[in-house]
Structure 1
Amino acid sequence: MAKATSFEIEFTSSIPASKVFHDFVIRLFEFVIDNIIPTHFGMAITNLEGDGGVGTIKIMTIDGTPQTKYKITGLDLENFTHSMVMIEGTGDEEYESTLTEMKVIPSANGGCTFISKITVFKGVDEGDIEFQTEQIGQWFKAFEGTVTQGSNDE
């Protein structure tokens, strides 16, 4: 069995912590689908079980074909922490492949620091880590852009 590999990603933002947590962290995949992925890919998120809290299992599909299943393993609305595991395989052969722990820390200036720790339980190389780091960075910059654009439209 491959050894687990962990890495952290950290960004600072002028956006308030509560907005980053509720609109980016909790709704990460929904944000990506709504703002980054072209609509012709037909991506969707469906709740398989749960109400959005701990224990909720969701699945991401492309044109109705299951792609990624994940389970929320931690959610603290007061301390702005959220964790989830990606689930791979089917039936009795399901296993947790990746744990993502996200935290948003308020800053004295009204902004925040976003920290994501990712632990991969299967083989991963430096290229995979670099790709995931860049991807999350691009998503976060896109999020900031939509928030900034939205505040300029008001």
Structure 2
Amino acid sequence: MAVVTSELEVPSSVSAPKLFKAYLDFRNLAPKVEPETFKAIENIKGDGGVGTIQQTTFVDGTKSKLTLDAIDNNNFSLTTTIFEGGEWMNNVESATIHVKFVPSAANEGSTYKVSSVYTCKDPAKFTQENAKFADEYTKKTFKVIEAYLIANPNAY
């Protein structure tokens, strides 16, 4: 099996603690702020802490499952592993996603950092271009959540 990695960084005017709290509530927030993508996200095992297994149902009817591998409240980071899902998972054994919100020294904002590691079943069928596409999708969802937090300053 081959491994494909990607890195994404997006500056934000929203603070790291606020973004981190919102992402800890992703299962409730994402379907609310991006209903054209997310139909529902439910915990199928666990209470939302480390070891929880979540199932995401997308509007098109496809589903994916992930585990919550780590939460670091002090460093505003979390790690998940997607292990089952739609068509793209036909070519990927798993995708481990590490998210970190880094406070900005210059202002009250932060930087959203995402490191993704895709363990590929067939390296010819999941390439760096596929990873870049996934990063753009991730960035789009982040921007929607960021806009919600800016419009609702008392949320989280």
| TM-score normalised to structure 1 length | 0.80
Residues 44 and 54 in structure 2, CA contact (< 8 A), matched pair in contact too: yes
Q: CA RMSD in A?
A: 2.4
CA separation of 1:96 and 1:85: change in aligned 2, threshold 3 A: farther
2:38 and 2:99 map into 1 onto residues whose CA distance is 27
**What's the offset of the Cα at 1:9?**
0.3
**What's the offset of the Cα at 1:29?**
4.8
Choose which of 109, 124, 141 in structure 2 pairs with 1:111: 109
**What's the offset of the Cα at 1:58?**
0.9
How many residue pairs match? The answer is 142
1:102 and 1:81 map into 2 onto residues whose CA distance is 5
- Percent of pairs with identical residues: 28
Residue-by-residue CA offset, 1:91-137 (whole Å, 9 max, x unaligned): xxxx9510000111111211111100010001422331221121112
Residue-by-residue CA offset, 1:60-118 (whole Å, 9 max, x unaligned): 1257x6711100111011211100101128xxxxx951000011111121111110001
What residue number does 2:129 align with? Answer: 127
1:37 and 1:146 map into 2 onto residues whose CA distance is 13
Structure 1: gaps of 5 or more residues: 90-94
- The residue type equivalent to 2:128 in the other structure is E
What residue number does 1:20 align with? Answer: 19
Question: 4+ runs of 1 displaced by more than 4 Å?
Answer: none
CA separation of 1:48 and 1:34: change in aligned 2, threshold 3 A: same
Correspondence list, 1:25-104, <5 A = 25-38=23-36, 43-62=39-58, 67-88=63-84, 97-104=94-101
2:33 and 2:19 map into 1 onto residues whose CA distance is 15
CA separation of 1:16 and 1:113: change in aligned 2, threshold 3 A: same
Residues 105 and 113 in structure 1, CA contact (< 8 A), matched pair in contact too: yes
1:27 and 1:7 map into 2 onto residues whose CA distance is 24
What residue number does 1:146 align with? Answer: 148
| TM-score normalised to structure 2 length | 0.79
Residues 102 and 117 in structure 1, CA contact (< 8 A), matched pair in contact too: yes
Residues 59 and 66 in structure 1, CA contact (< 8 A), matched pair in contact too: no
